[in-house]
């Protein structure tokens, strides 16, 4: 299938990303010059003025290219994707973070990999040759790596990076997978890819370097790690 015949809906959930959203939008436009795409910003009632920045970006790029689809408060990542999906007009959907940890320069590689392989899902991975993490301390690296090794050992999902959240989906596949997921927060990405693997969908990987957020504070804490371990047990029992 030719990329020119496809449309890519890029869902970007935001909460207090006023300092990042303009740059991420600029970089998406820079790296997808010859691609038909739209950016769907799902903002969860950010008090920092994120939505005002997005509205200014709409006047610059057009409301047909940047869709602001806000929600009244923080309602979770999984429901943010479901909300964005309702407004997606593309036949492919990209999910990515707004905090610049996922660089848009990788998007052409995702699209190319999908076109070459016909994959239902292309996921960015930190844990193959060419991938990596920048800006994390040793404890954070060990925590993430350990979480992935533990999940690999118990769940055998067939992908190297379970907790990454930079992915390209066929829209119909994302709709199918997301409807069967129940997890919240940090575990959600892992459940998505494990469910997709169990359903037999073709998954490909592209190496990426994950960069710790440039502006703002990280949202990962001890409670998220506990939730991850609970989620791991849940998936072990139900998949």
Residue-level pLDDT at 162: 74
Mean pLDDT computed over every residue of the chain: 85
pTM of the shown model: 0.83
pLDDT at 89 over 60: yes
Residue-level pLDDT at 237: 72
Both tokens of 79, joined, read 């429901």
- Express each pLDDT in 43-73 by its tens digit: 999 999 999 999 999 999 999 999 999 999 9
Domains of the chain: 8-237 (3.90.550.10)
Q: How confident is the model at residue 161 (pLDDT cuts 50, 70, 90)?
A: confident
Are the beta carbons of 46 and 14 closer than 8 angstroms? yes
Does residue 232 come out as left (phi exceeding 0), alpha (psi in the -120 to 50 range) or beta?
A: alpha
Q: How confident is the model at residue 94 (pLDDT cuts 50, 70, 90)?
A: very high
pLDDT at 216 over 70: no
**Cβ partners under 8 Å of residue 29, min gap 6:** 61
- Express each pLDDT in 122-158 by its tens digit: 999 887 676 665 555 666 556 666 666 666 666 665 6
What is residue 214's three-state secondary structure?
A: coil
> β-strand 36-43 against 121-125: which pairing, if any?
unpaired
Around Cβ 24, how many Cβ atoms within 10 Å? 24
Question: How would you label 160-199 residue by residue, b for 16+ Cβ within 10 Å and e otherwise?
Answer: bbbbbbbbbbbbebbebbbeebebebbbbbbbbbbbbbbe
Q: How confident is the model at residue 224 (pLDDT cuts 50, 70, 90)?
A: low
Print the SS3 string covering 137-193: CHHHHHHHHHHHHHHHHHHCCCCCCCCCCCEEEEHHHHHHHHHCCCCCHHHHHHHHH
């Amino acid at each position: 299938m030719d990329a020119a015949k496809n449309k890519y809906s890029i869902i970007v959930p935001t909460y207090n990303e006023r300092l990042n959203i303009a740059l991420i939008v600029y970089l998406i436009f820079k790296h997808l010059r010859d691609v038909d795409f739209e950016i769907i910003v799902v903002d969860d009632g950010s008090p920092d003025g994120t939505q005002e920045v997005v509205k200014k970006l709409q006047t610059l790029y057009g409301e047909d290219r940047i869709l602001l689809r806000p929600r009244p408060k923080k309602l979770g990542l999984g429901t943010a994707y479901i909300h964005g999906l309702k407004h997606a007009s593309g036949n492919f959907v990209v999910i990515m973070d707004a905090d610049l940890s996922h660089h848009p320069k990788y998007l052409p590689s995702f699209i190319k990999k999908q076109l070459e392989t016909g994959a239902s899902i292309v996921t960015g991975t930190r844990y193959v040759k060419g991938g990596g993490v920048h800006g994390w301390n040793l404890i954070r690296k060990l925590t993430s790596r350990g979480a992935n090794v533990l999940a690999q050992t118990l769940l055998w999902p067939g992908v190297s990076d379970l907790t990454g959240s930079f992915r390209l989906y066929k829209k119909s596949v994302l709709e199918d997978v997301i409807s069967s997921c129940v997890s919240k927060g940090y575990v959600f990405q892992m459940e998505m890819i494990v469910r997709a693997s169990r359903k037999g969908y073709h998954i490909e990987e592209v190496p990426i370097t994950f960069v710790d957020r440039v502006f703002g504070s990280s949202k990962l804490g001890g409670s998220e790690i506990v939730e991850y371990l609970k989620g791991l047990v849940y998936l072990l029992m139900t998949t």
